[in-house]
Amino acid sequence: MDHQKPINARLLAMKVLTQVDPKRSYAAPVLSDLLYQTNERQRATDLVFGTLRNQTAIDIVIIKLAGCEPKRISTKLLNVIRIAVYELIYSPETAEYAIVNEAVNNTKAIGGKKQVGFVNATLRQITRHITNRQTSFSEANAQKILPQTPSVGCEFDTCILPEPKASPADYLSTAFSLPKWLVNTWLTEFEYQKTKQICSASNRRPSVYIRPNTLKATAQQLAEKFRQADIDSEIVPGKSMIKIKSPSAITQLPGFAEGLFSVQDITAAKAVELLNPKPGWAILDLCAAPGGKTAQLAQATGDSAKIIATDIDSKRLEMVTENISRLGISSVSVVEYEKLEQKVSEIGLFDAVLLDVPCSNTGVLAKKPEARFRINQKAVRKLTKIQSQLLETATAMTKPRGKICYSTCSIQQAENSGLVKKFLQKNCQLKLKSELLILPLLQEFDHDGSYTAIIAKNVKQRMYNQSLRLKIKQF
């Protein structure tokens, strides 16, 4: 470990963002590797992901108010400026002078006098155009205010956004740094107010929720353990889940090492709840990594089902093994994807298959901000082909009268109800039992978006389908 003097959160965030191209790489692994360099870990994390979530809007501010083209600014200087603009707009509780001064000081650490002057002049020009760092939408021109929450935002003295009524897709995509085509699909499917809700929730600072390992502890017992350790937390009403309010490293929370809980969003837990697995079932988790739903399956069945967990990504599959080991689960067997066919031939078909498919991540844009830089309509079409093929594989592995739980963290109709409907039309032995679409939401107990369909298999199947060999090897 590097024992140099810790650096400030803004400089650490700049180092992370400089190493990350959101179209090709993810910030989380880089941030994890570098966090030891600062004592302000929570703040550095917020700066990295907040800047990524709002990058389009931030760049528009730099262009329109400072007259600078981001592509003409060196990567390091651009990220120093972006981080500062992010704080100026979205962190009104932080003093303006502190933001600008530390940006200037960080520039001194990486550049010369000319670069320092440029950063200082750019940020001073932007601050001159800010009239109120936090004001109500009801008191401002919508074209002059960048949203912080559904009710307040940062107000400027000039129009920086399209007019909402004249160009709703342009307005929402710009204000929330989202692809216009994506906003257009939401407007078509959900109309304006729900789309605005989705956009706002997609840019939130997501809360951290944990699901108690019910094999070892209840939510009440875990909440008491946190209280004794001065960890601010709250049990989610109507749920056996806990919201962590104190900024804390998950691995340092009391009970983590003992396997008393897993991290899981409220919405992510819904798929297994809808499947309602039973003790004694043979269950396949076909896209298991990193293992959150695998563990939930084991806990929901009292660790007395026969669960096979696999994933095409062998490295991420190791995370499943680590998770079930930490949680003390014994009913799960982790099987390499290449060996799944052999395993199914040995043990037979499954009572249930959990299919948490690869998807566009449009329901989890707050947690995976890089997805907004990558997803496009062509990518969605490619994903739907993979999703349909995986449904075919799941169908071949399911017993007669067994169930398939099809799950995504997408809110796109093409990946969800539209895909399931088309698949069922081609497979008359299957029947839709229930489906649930949850839209991302920003409120006290905020959550991601997701889709779940429970599909029942009705016809008899004499033996394991040998055509499965081809289906598995396609992925």
Is residue 97 a contact partner of residue 120, using CB atoms and an 8 Å limit? Answer: no
pLDDT value of residue 4: 77
Distances (CA, A) of 59 to 14, 18, 174, 286, 383: 15, 15, 10, 41, 30
| CA atoms within 13 A of residue 402's CA, in its CB half-sphere | 22
Same fold, 9-128 and 270-472: no
Give the integer Cα–Cα distance in Å for 129 and 250: 40
Region 254-260: what's the mean pLDDT? 96
Ordered by start, the domain boundaries in the chain are 9-128, 164-203, 213-263, 270-472
Region 141-148: what's the mean pLDDT? 96
Region 306-323: what's the mean pLDDT? 96
pLDDT value of residue 444: 87
| CA atoms within 13 A of residue 390's CA, in its CB half-sphere | 31
Region 287-292: what's the mean pLDDT? 96
Give the integer Cα–Cα distance in Å for 393 and 387: 10
pLDDT tens, 336-368? 999 999 999 899 999 999 999 999 999 999 999
Nearest to 69 by CA among 122, 127, 109, 23: 122
pLDDT value of residue 269: 95
| CA atoms within 13 A of residue 467's CA, in its CB half-sphere | 6
What confidence tier does 182 reach under pLDDT thresholds 50, 70, 90? Answer: very high
pLDDT value of residue 463: 44
Tokens 């994933």 sit on residue: 311
Phi, psi values for residue 430, rounded to 5°: -110, 150
pLDDT tens, 437-465? 999 999 889 999 999 999 999 865 544 44
CATH superfamily of 270-472: Vaccinia Virus protein VP39 (3.40.50.150)
pLDDT tens, 121-139? 999 999 999 999 999 998 8
H or E segment to which residue 282 belongs: strand 282-285
Q: Walk across the sheet containing 208-212 and list its strands.
A: 233-235, 242-244, 208-212, 261-263
Give the integer Cα–Cα distance in Å for 370 and 361: 10
Give the integer Cα–Cα distance in Å for 340 and 289: 15
471 pLDDT more than 50:
no
1 pLDDT more than 70:
no
Distances (CA, A) of 60 to 22, 80, 81, 305, 446: 18, 16, 12, 54, 28
372 pLDDT more than 60:
yes
475 pLDDT more than 70:
no
CATH number given to 9-128: 1.10.940.10
Distances (CA, A) of 447 to 46, 148, 210, 316, 441: 17, 17, 12, 24, 5
pLDDT value of residue 3: 57
28: Cβ contacts below 8 Å, ≥ 6 apart: none
What amino acid occupies position 53?
R
pLDDT value of residue 464: 44
Give the integer Cα–Cα distance in Å for 277 and 293: 12
Between CA 310 and CA 314, with CA 308 as vertex, the angle to 5 degrees is: 20
290 three-state secondary structure: coil
265 pLDDT more than 50:
yes
Region 101-112: what's the mean pLDDT? 94
Sign of CA dihedral 120, 125, 126, 131: positive
469 pLDDT more than 80:
no
Tokens 């396997």 sit on residue: 259
pLDDT value of residue 94: 96
DSSP string, 198-223: HHHHHTS-PPEEEEE-TTT--HHHHH
Q: Average pLDDT over the chain, rounded to whole?
A: 94
Question: In residues, how long is the chain?
Answer: 475
DSSP string, 41-71: HHHHHHHHHHHHHTHHHHHHHHHHHH---GG
pLDDT tens, 412-436? 999 999 999 999 999 999 999 999 9
Give the integer Cα–Cα distance in Å for 54 and 153: 13
21 pLDDT more than 80:
yes
248 pLDDT more than 80:
no
Tokens 């550049």 sit on residue: 111
255 pLDDT more than 80:
yes
